[in-house]
């Protein structure tokens, strides 16, 4: 965290709230130059607005006690201080409030009671946005992970690759869960989330990096856009909205991992596959998986995307009846990578709510790290040994 001072304004109707915010700011370890403004006076006197404009704060914290008056305050502040980062605090968060607040001009939204940790994270987002180069021509890479057969471990692969890539510090990493009819990533990572992918899709017309980040949760060094929370999804994913979410994600993160089920709407599948640099198709060495994967490869190939496909053979054991060479021959597609079988460690990591690669030193964890490095073109320099048998 930078040690530079941040010019900050606190706008709230309650003196107790302004005092509480000041106390929490003191626990962030950051330095602020603070001006306090009564929200009631701001709405009714020009002098309060002039005082705030004269202070020229970089960030304005707005306490939203009432939705109607709070939104009006945000609009006034956005007009008076167009360059300020408006950070709104609300008693309850939902997608409707978030979208309305962002439309009014807010850049971030925090749930009350506001803690020092939440403030620190919000200011981290502000500083990251402030330090972002003006040239936004660089676009991050989308990596798609899918499977033709449920239970092959695609979600685990996707999560562990996200964790491994984030550890390489090659730039911010995002994980987007498109699983349907319900997402698994939040459960795998033991996340209690407020928003999910449907919220981002619904806000696509207004979506930018900040709003997308507000829908994200953080876990093990990367950002997570959780999948659907229940079975009451309204219908097929709107393709333009999906494209916008992926586009904004690629402009915001260096690497975007998309957990894409093959049973999703075929049109949505192709939107993701077309935008991805590579499509990792995960399968296990068994006949049903081979049969389904053959059909999936045919489906992908009909739309000209087969050159992006990378076959990933999961849960490989030396006693397998179906060998890697036989998989490649049957599917007429070379196996890109093999992951050794360590089912017990993988299940233990899921039950703990953490990626295996972040807590385990097994051959499987190491293979994930090397796979991640290979995906971005920077293979790890590891000592040779038994593990090298699994490297491709």
Instruction: Write the DSSP assignment of 240-291 as a string of letters.
Output: HHHHHHHHHHHHH-SEEEEE--TTS-HHHHHHHHHH-SEEEEEE-SSHHHHH
What predicted TM-score, i.e. pTM, was given to this entire model? 0.76
Q: Answer whether residue 388 shows pLDDT above 60.
A: no
Provide the phi-psi class of 109: left if phi over 0, else alpha when psi is between -120 and 50, else beta. beta
Region 264-282 average pLDDT = 94
Q: Is the peptide bond before 175 cis (omega within 30 degrees of 0)?
A: no
Domain 141-390, CATH: 3.40.50.300
Q: Answer whether residue 386 shows pLDDT above 70.
A: no
Give pLDDT, residue 379: 65
User: What H or E segment, with its residue span, contains residue 229?
Assistant: none
Region 268-295 average pLDDT = 96
Q: Answer whether residue 222 shows pLDDT above 90.
A: yes
Average pLDDT, the chain: 87
Region 369-374 average pLDDT = 95
Contacts 24+ apart (CB under 8 A), 112-116: 112/63, 113/20, 114/20, 114/21, 114/24, 114/89, 115/24, 116/24, 116/25, 116/26, 116/27, 116/28
CATH fold match for the domains 6-131 and 141-390:
yes
Please give the residue that has the higher pLDDT: either 54 or 130: 54
∠ CA(160), CA(166), CA(167), 5° rounding?
Answer: 90
Residues 6+ apart with CB under 8 A from 55: 7, 9, 35
As a whole number of angstroms, the distance between CA 306 and CA 71 comes to: 49
Domain ranges of the chain: 6-131, 141-390
**136-195 tens-digit pLDDT:** 556 899 999 999 999 999 999 999 999 999 999 888 999 999 998 888 999 999 998 888
Q: Answer whether residue 305 shows pLDDT above 50.
A: yes
With cut-offs at 50, 70 and 90, classify the pLDDT of residue 203.
confident
Give pLDDT, residue 328: 95
In terms of CATH architecture, what is 6-131? 3-Layer(aba) Sandwich (3.40)
């Amino acid at each position: 965290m930078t040690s530079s001072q941040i010019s900050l304004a606190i706008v709230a109707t309650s003196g107790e709230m302004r005092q509480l915010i000041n106390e929490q700011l003191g626990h962030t370890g950051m330095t602020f130059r603070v001006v306090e403004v009564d929200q009631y006076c701001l709405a009714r006197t020009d002098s309060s607005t002039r005082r705030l404009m004269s202070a020229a704060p970089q960030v304005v914290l707005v306490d939203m006690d009432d939705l109607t008056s709070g939104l009006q305050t945000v609009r006034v502040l956005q007009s008076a201080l167009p360059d300020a980062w408006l950070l709104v605090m609300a008693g309850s968060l939902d997608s409707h409030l978030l979208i309305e607040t962002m439309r009014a001009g807010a850049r971030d939204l925090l749930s009350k009671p506001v803690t020092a940790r939440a403030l620190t994270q919000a200011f981290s987002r502000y500083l990251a946005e402030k330090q972002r180069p003006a040239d936004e021509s660089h676009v991050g890479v989308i990596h798609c992970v899918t499977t033709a057969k449920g239970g092959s471990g695609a979600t685990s692969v996707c999560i562990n690759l996200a964790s491994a890539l984030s550890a390489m510090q090659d730039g911010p990493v995002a994980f987007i869960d498109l699983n349907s009819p319900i997402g698994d990533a939040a459960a795998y990572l033991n996340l209690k989330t407020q928003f999910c992918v449907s919220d981002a899709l619904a806000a696509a017309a207004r979506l930018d990096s900040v709003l997308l980040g507000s829908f994200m949760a953080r876990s093990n060094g990367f950002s997570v856009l959780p999948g659907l929370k229940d079975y009451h999804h309204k219908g097929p994913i709107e393709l333009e909205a999906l494209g916008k979410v992926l586009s904004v994600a690629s402009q915001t993160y260096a690497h975007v991992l998309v957990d894409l089920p093959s049973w999703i709407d075929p049109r949505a599948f192709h939107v993701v596959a077309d935008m991805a640099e590579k499509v990792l198709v995960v399968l296990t060495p068994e006949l049903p998986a081979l049969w389904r994967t053959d059909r999936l490869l045919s489906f992908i190939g009909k739309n000209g995307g087969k050159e992006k496909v990378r076959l990933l053979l999961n849960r490989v054991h030396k006693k397998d009846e179906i060998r890697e060479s036989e998989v490649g021959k049957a599917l007429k597609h070379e196996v890109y990578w093999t992951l050794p079988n360590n089912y017990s460690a993988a299940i233990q990591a899921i039950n703990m709510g953490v990626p295996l690669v972040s807590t385990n030193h097994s051959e499987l964890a190491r293979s994930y790290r090397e796979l991640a490095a290979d995906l971005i073109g920077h293979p790890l320099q590891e000592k040779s040994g038994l593990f090298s048998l699994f490297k491709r």
